[in-house]
Chain A
């Protein structure tokens, strides 16, 4: 019997992805310390190496960084997701030419199965160079026998300049592996967050090596089966499969912080109708329908001086649907039920759950079968795809602008709009 082959999974991760995308079309920013901000220009979501060196923290609220930014001339840009999505797709298609088996893990990370390939190092460098030349996006490659170790190898590739962006855990000897894992903090492990790190420290687990050799029954009793899986992955036993096809979502959330405080019911309803449109379009794209809708409203929790009100209400729908009009009626109703005068709302959103494929529809004995708006929804989706999101939407009260995102520093849609292509 042939021995099971050791997997060679590569995690390809784009370096400072959003910043790298912005720099592709702005060569003048190549060495400028810069960051990209989240929706509403709230928090730092991507940092250039220069900004990291100056001490800008990931996830830091931008208003807290302003003093530092002014002192060092750190440039901040709003996020331009149309641009990032286009470049991400290009990177993934280039990577997919290297292996038929791959999993898109996030907008800037992709697992590539390289099991059985000769000359892994050479192929990895070739992969890195091709992505760089074709798209201008720098990437790092980490190879390991499991996803967790591939992620860790990628971390090593990023941190150590000597690796020149590629690190292969599989090529290490047993001693080298121990030496390496003893020198990495346990919080760098995939799935181990800040809270778990603190809890692990109380059990004397500080480094990755500590976790790898921790007492199994104790670990399972204190942290559950997920942590045990992580440990097995560190011991080179694959427990997390490569997911080549994205499973359908079980929950769809669409929410946004508002550009300014909202006090009127009509404006809230208008915002909600946009969230409904986005969520339902996602439902239809995966050919599903939802059976439960939840609506939530939030005041600004950072403004302790203002009265706080954060209601949330969920109802089961009479029958599962993905019809924007139908869902919007319920969102409207829930919003009216919860809305109270005298509060300044900062955020609202909807969540659709109990999602199942359209083909599994359970007919209702009592509820009359409504002729659905399927073809109307189809027309709506294709119009929005062609002319941009939000071209056609359900309008409750007319188009209010008060709630929309702040994007004061957004770059043009260089690659997705003829009117905004770069000028040379």
Chain B
């Protein structure tokens, strides 16, 4: 019976170049772990902060000075949210007789008015036969300071 434990002796090819052996492929950190590692938080996201509903929010640029009284100036950028039902007192983007206008909405006792925040502009009373649509509610004003 032939022996199966006997292995033949074969020559082994040994290259004369350096051979790097990967002993371990992961990194071992020397020193102390960061004490903050367990306390990291996502950095503040302005989009999240400024936009309540991103599917329904659109940006408009302001022209004119009718809302200067509450700090909305020409060139400011307004965030307008269409998903909000406009209520008395909201700043709204209205469409009056096919024209855009930003005003404070007054709606009391069957009277609907668009009120400017600038004493030189009288309130606009919406009369019968005039077409008023609320495009959206202004939720934020982006005003550039620098």
Residue A90 CB within 8 A of the other chain? yes
Complex contact B77–A422 (CB within 8 A): no
Q: Encode A388-424 as 1/0 by CB contact (under 8 A) with B.
A: 0000000000000000000000000011001001111
B61: A residues at CB distance < 8 A:
421-424
Residue B98 CB within 8 A of the other chain? yes
Complex contact A135–B95 (CB within 8 A): no
Residue B133 CB within 8 A of the other chain? yes
Residue A362 CB within 8 A of the other chain? no
Query: Bound state CA distance, A424 and B61, in angstroms?
Result: 6
Complex contact B63–A134 (CB within 8 A): no
Query: Bound state CA distance, A422 and B100, in angstroms?
Result: 10
Complex contact B58–A415 (CB within 8 A): yes
Tell me the A114-166 residues at the B interface (CB within 8 Å): 130, 133-136
Q: Which of B53, B55, B98 contacts A28 (CB 8 A)?
A: B98
For the complex formed, measure the closest distance between the CB of B77 and the CB atoms of chain A, giving whole angstroms: 7
Residue A94 CB within 8 A of the other chain? yes
Complex contact A27–B100 (CB within 8 A): yes
Query: Bound state CA distance, A130 and B61, in angstroms?
Result: 25
Residue A30 CB within 8 A of the other chain? yes
Query: Bound state CA distance, A94 and B53, in angstroms?
Result: 11
Q: Encode B39-79 as 1/0 by CB contact (under 8 A) with A.
A: 00000000000000101101111110000000000000110
B56: A residues at CB distance < 8 A:
90, 133-135
Complex contact A30–B98 (CB within 8 A): yes
With A28-B98, A28-B99, A94-B55: A424-B60 Cβ-Cβ less than 8 Å: yes
Number of chain B residues close to chain A: CB under 8 A: 22
With A27-B135, A133-B82: A424-B101 Cβ-Cβ less than 8 Å: yes
List residues of chain B with CB under 8 Å of any chain A CB. Answer: 53, 55-56, 58-63, 77-78, 82-83, 93, 95, 98-102, 133, 135
B55: A residues at CB distance < 8 A:
90, 93-94, 134-135
List residues of chain A with CB under 8 Å of any chain B CB. Answer: 27-28, 30, 90, 93-94, 130, 133-136, 414-415, 418, 421-424
With A134-B83, A421-B77, A422-B100: A27-B59 Cβ-Cβ less than 8 Å: no
Closest to A30 in B: B98
B60: A residues at CB distance < 8 A:
421-424
Closest to A131 in B: B55
| 30 interchain pairs, CB-CB under 8 A | A27-B98, A27-B99, A27-B133, A27-B135, A28-B98, A28-B99, A30-B98, A90-B56, A93-B55, A130-B83, A133-B56, A134-B53, A134-B56, A135-B55, A135-B56, A414-B58, A415-B58, A415-B59, A421-B60, A421-B61, A421-B77, A422-B61, A423-B61, A423-B62, A423-B63, A424-B61, A424-B63, A424-B78, A424-B101, A424-B102
Query: Bound state CA distance, A307 and B12, in angstroms?
Result: 75
Query: Bound state CA distance, A134 and B55, in angstroms?
Result: 7
Closest to B133 in A: A27
For the complex formed, measure the closest distance between the CB of A48 and the CB atoms of chain B, giving whole angstroms: 16
For the complex formed, measure the closest distance between the CB of B75 and the CB atoms of chain A, giving whole angstroms: 10
Closest to A93 in B: B55
Query: Bound state CA distance, A135 and B58, in angstroms?
Result: 9
A424: B residues at CB distance < 8 A:
60-63, 78, 93, 100-102
For the complex formed, measure the closest distance between the CB of A266 and the CB atoms of chain B, giving whole angstroms: 41
Query: Bound state CA distance, A93 and B82, in angstroms?
Result: 15
B95: A residues at CB distance < 8 A:
27
Closest to B60 in A: A424
Closest to A97 in B: B55
B62: A residues at CB distance < 8 A:
423-424
B102: A residues at CB distance < 8 A:
424
Closest to B64 in A: A424
Given A424-B61, A424-B100, 20 extra CB contacts under 8 A: A27-B95, A27-B99, A27-B133, A27-B135, A28-B99, A90-B55, A93-B55, A130-B83, A133-B82, A134-B56, A135-B82, A414-B58, A418-B59, A418-B77, A421-B60, A421-B61, A421-B77, A424-B60, A424-B62, A424-B93
For the complex formed, measure the closest distance between the CB of A284 and the CB atoms of chain B, giving whole angstroms: 27
A418: B residues at CB distance < 8 A:
59, 77
A414: B residues at CB distance < 8 A:
58
For the complex formed, measure the closest distance between the CB of A54 and the CB atoms of chain B, giving whole angstroms: 21
For the complex formed, measure the closest distance between the CB of B102 and the CB atoms of chain A, giving whole angstroms: 6
For the complex formed, measure the closest distance between the CB of A383 and the CB atoms of chain B, giving whole angstroms: 22
For the complex formed, measure the closest distance between the CB of B116 and the CB atoms of chain A, giving whole angstroms: 13
B78: A residues at CB distance < 8 A:
424
Q: 6 tightest CB-CB pairs across the interface, nearest first?
A: A134-B56, A424-B100, A28-B98, A27-B95, A90-B55, A421-B59
Complex contact A134–B82 (CB within 8 A): yes
A27: B residues at CB distance < 8 A:
95, 98-100, 133, 135
A136: B residues at CB distance < 8 A:
82
